[in-house]
A = this chain, B = another copy of it.
């Protein structure tokens, strides 16, 4: 026990926090020593999440009351816009600490883009340059060396894993990508909003944040790097009547005579040996059911009937590979642990 890594989780009363605790409790090298949730400070976790009441966990406290010296690593699941100041304070006072951010605060390299999309100036400009974008399969070495990792959003995780390889290989037209995205309702958080009530969200489906979702600039930043030029994508999310799961259906045009088979082959090569990213054989249909509760990713590639077009489908569990699971994957790298440590849960089906 003595040599376990002591972790703190900020914003532990949300769904991402709960799923991180679910995974951390089974992680052989982690010890949860700090849980914050300002609205629930002073309460035991069993009151906020009864299903966690079976485990021994510290009570919730405010982020202000945290004793950072007792923590080796911080997972931050605070709402967007509040993390930058806390990261600056914590890393300023405890430079050896590792900070794994699950919020959006350090995902965008460019402070102006951040200000534009999030509506306020960046609060920790000096830290942004050292923040590493935590898309594990694409930034493994940088993450391993980083102190501050900005874990990708759930949609960007699903979209980028599917699209970076063909864009980087020049197989698809980077300027004509359409991402039709579908997410379970946990993706919208635990806030008390009318459209998230069971009787409103159940038995129905709706698009939202059309042409205005904050995950678009994140996808564009990373696809732009793969393409070697600035680009824009069409990104349209939909809310689906299920709790977990996310699926992106991406439409692209093949270039230079490439075929859908070439795209599939490029993806398969790129992710060969990856423990979590699975490129399906011809005809294989990704389903959110196959990855529920797990850190796995399924990618399927299809030729459209219109010549020269390809459809790439990717699916993840938004709370795991799309958030808490990828955060742990990055934590493992940052602490020199096997990357899959604590993450080999089998998907829960049914």
Contacts and interface: CB of A to CB of B under 8 A. Distances in A.
A344 B240 CA distance: 27
Interface in A181-218: 182, 184-186, 190, 192-194, 196-208, 210-212, 216
B346 A21 contact: yes
A52 interface: yes
8 contacts: A15-B350, A51-B290, A51-B346, A190-B194, A196-B197, A196-B199, A198-B198, A198-B241
A10 interface: no
Contacts of A309: 234
Interface in A13-72: 15, 18, 21-22, 25-26, 49-55
A52 B311 CA distance: 25
Q: Which interface residue of A196, A207, A232, A236 has the most chain B CB atoms within 10 A?
A: A207
Interface in A146-197: 178, 180, 182, 184-186, 190, 192-194, 196-197
Given A206-B288, A211-B304, A247-B205, A199 B15 contact: yes
Nearest to A289: B204
A29 to B, nearest CB: 16
Given A50-B287, A203-B292, A240 B243 contact: no
Contacts of A22: 346-348
Interface residues of A, number: 82
A300 B50 CA distance: 13
A178 B249 CA distance: 11
A286 interface: yes
Given A51-B292, A51-B346, A203-B289, 20 more contacts: A22-B346, A54-B294, A55-B346, A180-B180, A185-B198, A186-B199, A197-B198, A202-B241, A202-B242, A203-B203, A203-B243, A203-B244, A204-B288, A206-B288, A207-B300, A211-B304, A233-B306, A236-B249, A236-B311, A244-B350
A350 B199 contact: yes
Contacts of A49: 349
A251 interface: yes
Interface string A210-240: 1110001000000000000000111010101
A191 to B, nearest CB: 9
Copy number in the complex reads: 4
Interface string A285-307: 11111111110100010111110
Given A203-B244, A240-B205, A305-B211, A178 B251 contact: yes
A274 to B, nearest CB: 11
A82 interface: no
A270 interface: no
Contacts of A53: 278, 290
A8 interface: no
A350 B201 CA distance: 9
Contacts of A26: 344-346
Contacts of A199: 15, 184-186, 190, 196, 243, 350
A208 B285 contact: yes
A199 B201 CA distance: 10
Contacts of A200: 198, 289, 350
Contacts of A311: 210-211, 234, 236
